[in-house]
Chains A and B, each alone.
Chain A
Amino acid sequence: MKWFTILVLALAIGLATAASPFASSSPDGLERVATDKGFAPRAESREAPLLDYGSDSKLATGLAGFAGTLLVFAIGGAIARAARR
């Protein structure tokens, strides 16, 4: 299980860091529908530490993916260990 975990985590980090900067930046399904049907302006803009995955540059997006994947892994792992006690 240890090697399986390391392998999948490495794959996830690799995808989030190296592949995500080259993912499509077109609006997703809901964003497209919101624009087409005229309710997109209702969305409230927000502040966040890594707003929109640092979409201003490929490097920022990759780093955001790297950090986010590790953070999700850490929180998920902590919950799993805490739940077992």
Chain B
Amino acid sequence: MHIPDGFLSPEVAAACAVPAIGAVGYGLRRASRELDERRVPLLGVTAAFVFAAQMLNFPVAGGTSGHFLGAALAAILLGPWLAGLVLSVVLVVQSFVFADGGVTALGANVLNMGVIGALVVGGLMVGAQRVLPQRRGAFLAVAGVGAWLAVMAGATATAFELAISGTVPLGTVLPAMLGVHTLIGIGEAVITVAAVSAVMTTRPDVVRALPQGVPA
């Protein structure tokens, strides 16, 4: 879902960069408060895993592939603001070292693949804690639904940015983006649930979104 240079108007690119920079800056402030000695390595290793998993494009229908985004996984492990920080590290390296995603589009890509999905999942986790039973299965189900929603929210934001830029009409791009990402989001959900489940089994104490009392 990496937007290359040339797809966005300068105005839209700038309008996306401002909140992206704000969210990353706030993520840095939260990191200074929330990362204790034990959790410091978690930020780098989550970023490394997200980067690696993003390279593994899986086939979806009709000669199209999808890849993991990781905002949901990072938000569950580190909270939504640190997740935005993690995804910005991944996206900056992808853009500058691998030319995957444009430089002027970096703000939009950080929003679409990082901040927006992370906040969706963060909000969902808080809401689900109030209404759902405190069980492992329920927690993993919410993680999976959140991962799918994060991809759909990112696809929606991308469609709006392209349409406002005058690149393609909204009525054309939005259904197309939502259609293909409905499938890609399922892949995101499967990988997120598998990863969260594995971490809950090995180190439940590092899963920030895990409420007290949920059996790992």
CB distance from A21 to the nearest CB of B (A): 9
CB of B90 within 8 A of CB of A83, answer: no
- The digit string for B23-57, where 1 denotes a CB below 8 A from any CB of A, is 00000100110010011111111111111110111
A1 to B42, CA, bound (A): 9
CB distance from B186 to the nearest CB of A (A): 12
CB of B168 within 8 A of CB of A28, answer: no
Contacts of B176 in A (CB 8 A): 33, 36-37
CB of B93 within 8 A of CB of A68, answer: yes
A23 to B66, CA, bound (A): 10
What is the interface of chain A mostly: helix, strand, loop, or mixed?
helix
The answer to the question of A59 belonging to the interface, with a C-beta cut-off of 8 Å to chain B, is no
A8 to B168, CA, bound (A): 41
Tally the A-B contacts, defined by beta carbons under 8 Å.
208
CB distance from A62 to the nearest CB of B (A): 10
A33 to B182, CA, bound (A): 13
CB of B51 within 8 A of CB of A16, answer: yes
User: Given A4-B206, A75-B47, A79-B89 in contact, is the A28-B67 Cβ separation under 8 Å?
Assistant: yes
Contacts of A77 in B (CB 8 A): 40-41, 43-45
- The digit string for B79-97, where 1 denotes a CB below 8 A from any CB of A, is 0000001100110111011
User: Given A25-B65, A32-B180 in contact, is the A46-B5 Cβ separation under 8 Å?
Assistant: yes
CB distance from A65 to the nearest CB of B (A): 5
The answer to the question of B64 belonging to the interface, with a C-beta cut-off of 8 Å to chain A, is yes
The answer to the question of B3 belonging to the interface, with a C-beta cut-off of 8 Å to chain A, is yes
